[in-house]
A and B are shown apart, each in its own frame.
Chain A
């Protein structure tokens, strides 16, 4: 009789133990599945309502580039028509005010300005430049040089139109005549590595959109009277709530996030 009671007590104890074990097993299962999504940061980012297109996983190659100061703009200034031009020798910048401001709307401004840029009497070396929507805003349209080595996103080589009240009133221009390869090509970080790294470093908030991720050369430093450019990933993140866009820069050689002042000066290559 006593033994039977012991059996019943054991049965109850083991059943409760089973229930406890089963629950903790379920818990550990969930942990496992959550870590496996952790390994795929991309899925986690989607879960957190961060939207982006497909990310390129290919590791490309890029160079250290150098440019020497150049006054081609000053030498060709007589080719320009219908504008008032000034040339600043110190930073090799051409500042122009258009005699007849160009009327543009948000919808057609790219098309209108692309046409304008192509003509040599409007813009010197205009054919070497391309519109860069990532850098532009409602008050500025920025054109960047394109070449066989890639695009340059930097104030030392840029064409900036100022737009005010639906009119393009003038522009400033800097120009790099020739980029020299300074070192054999080196492997760079892929788009996916850069974006996941930004996310891992809490640089991408929840509920946002990666609107642009472009690779371009930007100024690293000046030495020996030359400007040195390195490849940098420019990743623009737009917060869906506040509608504010911020652009993060990542050194494409090292994968380090460049935390610098807006002019991009004085940061180390590390």
Chain B
């Protein structure tokens, strides 16, 4: 009798333990099952049609200094700077060290070094952002320092370094590179089919790229696309459009989503402004700042393959993106480029244009020959602007609607000059043409 009781008790203990073990397995397993499914969904989403972040935040001009001169190079069949970035992803880059600072003369030497290729960003970004874009851990550790030029010596075998330079404070950082070869980069340089002789001048308001001789540049045409207001409200208010308050005044439409979000669409200029009063967290790091800007940009527009980060003002939390064609920025008839994003504690603001370059089409116009940068400075002086007034000078493309086809725009090259905080075409400052006669 006693024996059977022991058996019953032992079996009971076993049964209880088994039930606990089984419950444990079921719980942990279900969790894994659900988590696995989520990962699957998100990775499928992010793979969709997206242009990677390292294309939107990438160098826009490539300058090659051979034995004698500096050349701005471009390959119209293949984006050189994107291809070099791909090569650099395999490099082992050590942590960068500061080698010089606030020394203009030394800085000039660095950016004019021979046999050196440099890739120039339109704005300075933090070194850890580059680390994130190249997936490089030692660069990721450098959180505070900024740069806007990457320099690589392609001929000197002993110089196994890359240099990061910052035009704003003349800082130069040096980082040791392993597992790298200059051969693929030299090949990309040789394939360039646009080659313009340039000189880098340090001026009062920064480093300017000057074209030594008159330059001949192609004109381009694009089919442009836009979206209806409804498509923007669906994407930006991320909910159905019920409860939208709409008002219209002289072609300016305002859509309110409660008290929290507002979209203003000006149908006359095709400019839109989106304000999100719920987005009150200001990015804490420079990397987060650019990442959030990139996310907002992908949410706004479908085709961003021509879009590049043009200016990042970390102190004001202000980002500007512009469209680029073959390495030159496009200036549209707005002061903010293509997209401007501002973060603040009161909420984020996005200004953007409802005109996006969609499909390139052959241009009917002939190439344009522009004056040398020196001639442009002379012209500005005649109009009463001294070189010290010039805050920026850049060759860019002007946006001109075709008279007989409103879906197609022509892009014509000209000089853009920034004076008093405003970018305007050279012609508007001086009433003179930037074209060589």
Tell me, in angstroms, the Cα distance from A92 to B407 when the chains sit together: 26
The minimal Cβ–Cβ distance linking B212 to chain A, given in whole angstroms, is 25
Q: Does B358 contact A (CB under 8 A)?
A: yes
Tell me, in angstroms, the Cα distance from A10 to B9 when the chains sit together: 10
Tell me, in angstroms, the Cα distance from A15 to B225 when the chains sit together: 68
Q: Does B75 contact A (CB under 8 A)?
A: yes
Among A31-39, A114-122, A208-216, the stretch in contact with B? A31-39
Which of B12, B79, B362 is in CB contact (< 8 Å) with A7? B12
Q: Does B431 contact A (CB under 8 A)?
A: no
Contacts known (A11-B12, A14-B16, A185-B78); A64 close to B360, Cβ less than 8 A:
yes
Contact B22 A224 (CB under 8 A): no
A-side contacts of B5, CB under 8 Å: 4, 7
Tell me, in angstroms, the Cα distance from A166 to B258 when the chains sit together: 72
Tell me, in angstroms, the Cα distance from A169 to B77 when the chains sit together: 42
Q: Does A270 contact B (CB under 8 A)?
A: yes
Tell me, in angstroms, the Cα distance from A256 to B77 when the chains sit together: 24
Contact A221 B223 (CB under 8 A): yes
Contacts known (A36-B36, A38-B40, A223-B408); A8 close to B8, Cβ less than 8 A:
yes
Tell me, in angstroms, the Cα distance from A63 to B9 when the chains sit together: 77
A-side contacts of B15, CB under 8 Å: 11, 14-15, 17-18
Which of B29, B40, B75, B408 is in CB contact (< 8 Å) with A25? B29
Contact B305 A224 (CB under 8 A): no
Interface string of B223-237 (1 = CB under 8 A from A): 101000000000000
Contact A11 B22 (CB under 8 A): no
Contact B36 A35 (CB under 8 A): yes
* Most chain A beta carbons < 10 A, residue from B33, B302, B407: B33
Which of B79, B302, B363, B364 is in CB contact (< 8 Å) with A270? B302
* Most chain B beta carbons < 10 A, residue from A18, A31, A183, A269: A183
Contact B23 A21 (CB under 8 A): yes
Q: Does A228 contact B (CB under 8 A)?
A: yes
Q: Which A-chain residue is minimally distant from B74 (CB atoms)?
A: A184
Contact A180 B12 (CB under 8 A): no
A-side contacts of B12, CB under 8 Å: 7, 10-11, 14
Interface string of A227-270 (1 = CB under 8 A from B): 01010000000000000000000000011100000000000111
The minimal Cβ–Cβ distance linking A3 to chain B, given in whole angstroms, is 10
Q: Does B361 contact A (CB under 8 A)?
A: yes
Which of B33, B362, B364, B405 is in CB contact (< 8 Å) with A28? B33
Q: Does A170 contact B (CB under 8 A)?
A: no
Contact B408 A224 (CB under 8 A): yes
B-side contacts of A181, CB under 8 Å: 76-77
Q: Which B-chain residue is minimally distant from A220 (CB atoms)?
A: B359
Q: Does A182 contact B (CB under 8 A)?
A: yes
Q: Which of A13-46 contact B (CB under 8 A)?
A: 14-15, 17-18, 21-22, 24-25, 28-29, 31-32, 35-36, 38-39
Interface class of chain A by DSSP: mixed
Tell me, in angstroms, the Cα distance from A29 to B253 when the chains sit together: 55
Contact A184 B33 (CB under 8 A): no
Which of A10, A17, A68, A184 is in CB contact (< 8 Å) with B75? A184
The minimal Cβ–Cβ distance linking B65 to chain A, given in whole angstroms, is 23
A-side contacts of B11, CB under 8 Å: 11
Which of B9, B19, B33, B362 is in CB contact (< 8 Å) with A31? B33
Q: Which B-chain residue is minimally distant from A29 (CB atoms)?
A: B29
Tell me, in angstroms, the Cα distance from A187 to B110 when the chains sit together: 34
Q: Which A-chain residue is minimally distant from B327 (CB atoms)?
A: A184
Q: Does A186 contact B (CB under 8 A)?
A: yes
Q: Which of A156-196 contact B (CB under 8 A)?
A: 180-186, 193
Contact A66 B361 (CB under 8 A): yes
Contact A28 B30 (CB under 8 A): yes
Contact B26 A24 (CB under 8 A): yes
A-side contacts of B333, CB under 8 Å: none
A-side contacts of B29, CB under 8 Å: 25, 28-29, 32
Q: Does B48 contact A (CB under 8 A)?
A: yes
Which of B22, B361, B407 is in CB contact (< 8 Å) with A22? B22
Interface string of B387-426 (1 = CB under 8 A from A): 0000000000000000001011000000000000000000
A-side contacts of B408, CB under 8 Å: 223-224
Which of A28, A184, A224 is in CB contact (< 8 Å) with B77? A184
The minimal Cβ–Cβ distance linking A249 to chain B, given in whole angstroms, is 16
The 3 A-B pairs at the shortest CB distance, nearest first, are namely A14-B15, A21-B22, A182-B360
A sample of 9 inter-chain contacts (CB < 8 A) reads A7-B8, A14-B15, A21-B22, A38-B40, A220-B359, A228-B360, A254-B49, A255-B49, A270-B225
Taking beta carbons and an 8 Å cutoff, which residues of B are in contact with A? 5, 8-9, 11-12, 15-16, 18-19, 22-23, 25-26, 29-30, 32-33, 36-37, 40, 47-49, 75-79, 221, 223, 225, 302-303, 305, 326, 358-364, 405, 407-408
Additional pairs, 6, CB under 8 Å, beyond known A14-B18, A220-B359: A184-B77, A223-B221, A223-B359, A223-B407, A225-B364, A228-B360
